[in-house]
Amino acid sequence: MTFDLIIFVVSAAVAVFGATMMIAQRSPVASVMYMILSLVAQAVCYVQLGAFFLGAILVVVYAGAIMVLFLFVIMLLNLRGNEDMGAPPPVLSQFTKLVFGILLALELAFIVKAAPFSGSTTGIVGAKSDSFGSVKAVAEKMFTDYLYPFELTGVLLLVAVVGAVVIAKKRHLNETGDSAGALQNDAEVKE
Amino acid sequence: MADYLFLIPLLPLIGFLINGLLLGRLSKPVIGLVACGSVGFSFLLSLASFFELKGLAPEARQITQTLFSWISADLFNVNMGFLLDPLSAVMILVVTGVGFLIHVYSIGYMGHDKGYGRYFAYLNLFTFAMLTLVLADNFLLLFVGWEGVGLCSYLLIGFWYEKQSATDAGKKAFIVNRIGDFGFLIGMFIIFWNIGSLDFVTVSRMAPEVFVAGGSLITAACLLLFLGATGKSAQIPLYVWLPDAMEGPTPVSALIHAATMVTAGVYMLARTNVLFILAPDALMVVAVIGALTAIFAASIGLTQNDIKRVLAYSTVSQLGYMFLACGVASFTAGIFHLMTHAFFKALLFLGAGSVIHAMSGQQDMRHMGGLKKHLPVTFTTMFVATLAISGIPLFSGFFSKDEILWKAYSSSTNGAWYFWTIGVVAAGLTAFYMFRLIFLTFYGSERMDAETKRHVHESPKTMTVPLMVLTVLSVIGGYVGIPQIFGGTNHFEEWLLPVMSGPSHEVAKHALASAGHSAVEEWSLMFMSVALVAFAIYMAYYFYRKNTAAAASLAGRLSGVKTLLANKYYVDEFYGAVIVRPAVYFSVFLWKIFDVMIIDGTLNGVARLWRDVSDGLRYGQSGQLRSYATIFVAGVVLLIVYFVAG
Amino acid sequence: MVPVSAYLILAVVLFGIGTVGVLVSRNMIVLFMAVELMLNAANMALMAFSKALNLVDGHVIVFLVLTIAAAEAAVGLALIVMVYRNRETINIDRFNLMKW
């Protein structure tokens, strides 16, 4: 029972636990909390895999930004977790869905088990370099081989931001009831 | 002549097309001219071909013309071809000659009818079909003509289609004929199946070799052919359409039901005499039915009050004589009577038409009387015809009927005294009811109402001239067949001999041989029949001229018999209950149960099934994202299994 | 030492939990988070393979996936906000207009 193994087992267990609890919560805020817990555990796993930079990025971006965004939306919509969701769905259908999920997981596990290198513990190709997983290594790769996707992702982010703004904008209606010229109205109101 | 044979049926067909297609545009005189002219030309051509045939040696009297090959299917070959031999020559002369006279007569009779053009078109079509029938050189073409005359009789019987009774009569004629046609077809099949050809010349030549004489196959075929003949020529059991067919215009009755169409059956028997001689049992059946029909119909004719009904039953009865003749293998006598009957029966019908025309449509003899002085020409001609039909010596009917009676007694094939007896009794009845008709119509007190009486007038020339021509023929028509004992030669029999039993008419001569009967027998039988006829005429005179009260009292005492006869032995009612009603029930069953419930039910049921299925399936489109996702995941699971395991 | 397959199994398990979460939850927010969880599971798998093949490409790809996940989360949440404005509910079962 090496130290690595213990760390892995604990963090994996926490990750799974967090994920499971997340989907079973009534209150959305609690769900977000559990998600963050799971993410942090996953970050530990990343670090154990030698991905120092990405582990940090995971916590900062994912748990720190995206989950906070979720919290903002929950706050905006004023969700308390006590909304009336209607009648609970029939147990059989819930059970069936659970079964499908488990089946899927089992199948994928089976496939994974058959992968050629799954038994190796460290790596199969060459010796690990000390800078594996460091910022330097990742940056070197990204700005040379993966420059094009990197730039495109930047554009994608821009598009997403603009899109989010446009979608969520409040629309004012004219006397005739449609929203044509709504932006103009906003400008007039401002004056 | 061989090149022009096809014109004989073609000219009336052209007349039909012109009149039929240009109905509204042609004026009445033109229609009449086209119709009569086409038949008239056919008659001239028939005359020319007759003389040409006469010029040939008796053995070589056969002119054929094949227009084209109609059906050519490996083993089954039928040509559109015409055969002119002594038998068909006689037939075309009768058809076109009498037909022409009737066409001319119709110009006057139907002059005021609004269906004038349609009438002449149908009449021409009928003539075309009849000529095809008699000129055909094979069974199938004959059958085409056979069906064609059946169709035309339906069209013409139901000519005044706005009258319910007329359309019913037309349908009845067609349907009853159909039953006979079914027999005809099966008979044809048997012949073709065994001989491999439907050509008359081939069949006549090969039949004695292919069929076993007296065997069941040929007997069956002949009986089936005879069934067709009973339908067309109104014998028992398929005669019921002919009396009802009097719903049509009177010239139609004259042409179709006296002179031509009904004689198609007799012609067919004569044409296939080779086959019938090979089946004596079938011939016996023919003779029996012919004799029974003759006396049966004559008995019904005694009590009929409609002038045309009397003549209708008389036709059925006379046809029975013709079949009796065929049944004793004396086909020539049958055709002889066919010819003379055409003359005097057509004359009788046309005369009756003249009477009805004069009486403004009245057909019941009880409302006639004393017309002798108003309609002199009509009276004279009808009187001559009545003498002919009764078989008074020196008139045409005497020679032909006497020939039949003698052969019925003496023929070596089925000839017997009982056939002769039945024939003579029927002859007596015939004389009785025919003279009854004359006395009731032309003599005695005038029993019509005043309105009709004022309009009584003799018919126009177009109607009386044909009557006179037919009268002459009724008198002299018999002289072509004077029997030997009178000292003359039977030209008619000689003329037709080559047709009988094919090339080797020795067989026919043998069948006709009056073996062992003497001239004395012949004379005495002749005297007996004439005496009975004279007695019958006197009885008619007694009851309907001298002492009309006696007729009424006799009718009262025999009222049961009279009702039976007046109601035609209830045959129509019997057929209606036994045949027609079950057929109607069956068809209603097929309609209500089979068509509506089973077939429609199945179709609608299938449609309903699919509608219900889709009704259920549509709930899959729930709009619920999670349901869709679930099925999605299930599909992925299955796909992975498929790809991993496969 | 921990075999690489263990991390893969972990990824698979997380993915399964995410799938079940998508199917089961009626709350749109939670459903969305479950989708994010599935993305994370894929990331985990990529990291494991990156370690196994000793290539840093995997890290780069995970980096880009993270970015995309962020963009997608932004747009998705904007949509949820707008939908809530119209219908006053976040129960995904209520949005069933595309039905029979």
Q: What is the SS3 assignment for B364-412?
A: EHHHCCCCCCCCHHHHHHHHHHHHHHHCCCCCHHHHHHHHHHHHHHHCC
Give the mutation candidate from B614, B625, B632, B640 for the C interface (greatest C CB count, under 10 A).
B625
The three-state DSSP-derived secondary structure of B631-643 is HHHHHHHHHHHHH
C-alpha closest to that of B354 among B255, B260, B461:
B461
Cα B483 from Cα B153, distance rounded (Å)? 36
Contacts with C, A 56-115, CB within 8 Å: 57-58, 61-62, 65-66, 69-70, 73-74, 76-77, 79, 83, 85-86, 89, 94, 97-98, 100-102, 104-105, 108-109, 112-113, 115
- From the CA of A106, how many Å to the nearest CA of chain B? 10
CB B468 within 8 A of CB B377: yes
Fold of C4-94: Helix Hairpins (1.10.287)
CB B365 within 8 A of CB B305: yes
Q: How far is residue B263 CA from its own chain's centroid? A: 5
Count contacts between A and B (CB, < 8 Å): 23
For residue B214, the SS3 value is coil
In chain A, which residues have their Cβ closer than 8 Å to the Cβ of B636?
104
Can you give the pLDDT at residue B511?
47
Can you give the pLDDT at residue B515?
46
Q: What is the block-wise mean pLDDT of chain B (646 residues), using blocks of 10 residues?
A: 79 87 80 88 89 78 79 82 86 89 88 85 92 90 92 90 88 89 92 86 82 80 91 86 87 83 86 85 89 89 86 90 88 87 90 86 80 84 89 83 83 77 89 88 77 74 80 77 62 71 48 56 80 83 72 72 75 80 86 80 89 85 83 90 81
Note whether C95 contacts B: Cβ–Cβ < 8 A: yes
C-alpha closest to that of B12 among B115, B173, B133, B110:
B133
Mean pLDDT of C30-57: 91
Sign of CA pseudo-dihedral C36, C41, C46, C51: positive
Note whether A41 contacts C: Cβ–Cβ < 8 A: no
Closest chain A residue to B638 measured between Cα atoms?
A: A104
Note whether C87 contacts B: Cβ–Cβ < 8 A: no
Q: Tokens 């494991």 identify what position?
A: C48
Q: List for chain A the helix, strand, coil content (%; round to 5).
A: 70, 0, 30
Note whether B563 contacts A: Cβ–Cβ < 8 A: no
Contacts with B, C 34-63, CB within 8 Å: none
Note whether B640 contacts A: Cβ–Cβ < 8 A: yes
Note whether A110 contacts B: Cβ–Cβ < 8 A: yes
Count contacts between A and C (CB, < 8 Å): 244
Beta-strand ranges (E) seen in B85-120 are none
CB-based contact C44 A54, cutoff 8 Å: no
Task: Give the B-side interface with C, CB within 8 Å.
Answer: 618-619, 621-626, 629-630, 633
Reported as half-sphere exposure (CB side, CA atoms, 13 A), residue A183 has a value of: 2
CB-based contact B637 A96, cutoff 8 Å: no
- Reported as type and span, the H/E element at residue A115 is none
Cα B266 from Cα B259, distance rounded (Å)? 12
Cα A79 from Cα B536, distance rounded (Å)? 124
CB B322 within 8 A of CB B397: no
Note whether A54 contacts C: Cβ–Cβ < 8 A: yes
Can you give the pLDDT at residue A121?
56
Task: Write the DSSP symbol of residue A66.
Answer: I
pLDDT over 90 (residue A14): yes
CB-based contact C82 A168, cutoff 8 Å: yes
In chain C, which residues have their Cβ closer than 8 Å to the Cβ of B625?
92, 95
- From the CA of A68, how many Å to the nearest CA of chain C? 11
Cα B475 from Cα B375, distance rounded (Å)? 21
C-alpha closest to that of B431 among B471, B391, B473, B476:
B391
- The CATH classification number of A1-80 equals 1.20.120.1200
The residue type of A181 is G
Note whether C28 contacts A: Cβ–Cβ < 8 A: no
Q: Please, which pLDDT band fits residue A51 given cuts at 50, 70 and 90?
A: confident
Annotate C16-28 with DSSP letters as a single string: HHHHHHHHH--BH
CB-based contact C93 B624, cutoff 8 Å: yes
CB-based contact B640 A104, cutoff 8 Å: yes
Q: For chain A, how far is it from start to end, CA to CA, in angstroms?
A: 72
CB-based contact C96 B624, cutoff 8 Å: yes
Closest chain C residue to B614 measured between Cα atoms?
A: C100
Mean pLDDT of A161-177: 76
Cα B226 from Cα B271, distance rounded (Å)? 12
Among the partner residues C17, C48, C78, nearest to A20 by beta-carbon distance: C17
Can you give the pLDDT at residue A117?
64
Q: Which residues pair with B78 in a beta bridge?
A: B71
C-alpha closest to that of A169 among A157, A150, A182:
A182
pLDDT over 70 (residue A67): yes
Among the partner residues B634, B641, B644, nearest to A100 by beta-carbon distance: B634
CA distances in angstroms from B129 to B147, B149, B483, listed in the order given: 8, 6, 34
List CB contacts of A44: < 8 A, sequence separation 6 or more: A7, A11, A55
pLDDT > 90: what percent of chain A? 42
Tokens in use for B337?
Answer: 């009577």
- From the CA of A191, how many Å to the nearest CA of chain C? 27
pLDDT over 90 (residue A90): no
C-alpha closest to that of A23 among A105, A97, A77:
A97
Give the mutation candidate from C25, C79, C80, C96 for the B interface (greatest B CB count, under 10 A).
C96
CB-based contact B633 A96, cutoff 8 Å: no
The residue type of B387 is L
Can you give the pLDDT at residue A31?
93
- From the CA of A150, how many Å to the nearest CA of chain C? 7
CB-based contact C54 A126, cutoff 8 Å: yes
Cα–Cα–Cα angle for B116, B120, B126, rounded to 5 degrees = 145
- Of B259 and A38, the structure prediction assigns the larger pLDDT to A38
Can you give the pLDDT at residue A175?
54
Q: Which residues pair with B65 in a beta bridge?
A: B82
pLDDT over 50 (residue C35): yes
For residue B458, the SS3 value is coil
- Residue extents of the structural domains in chain C: 4-94
CA distances in angstroms from B207 to B15, B266, B276, B277, B447, listed in the order given: 39, 20, 10, 10, 60
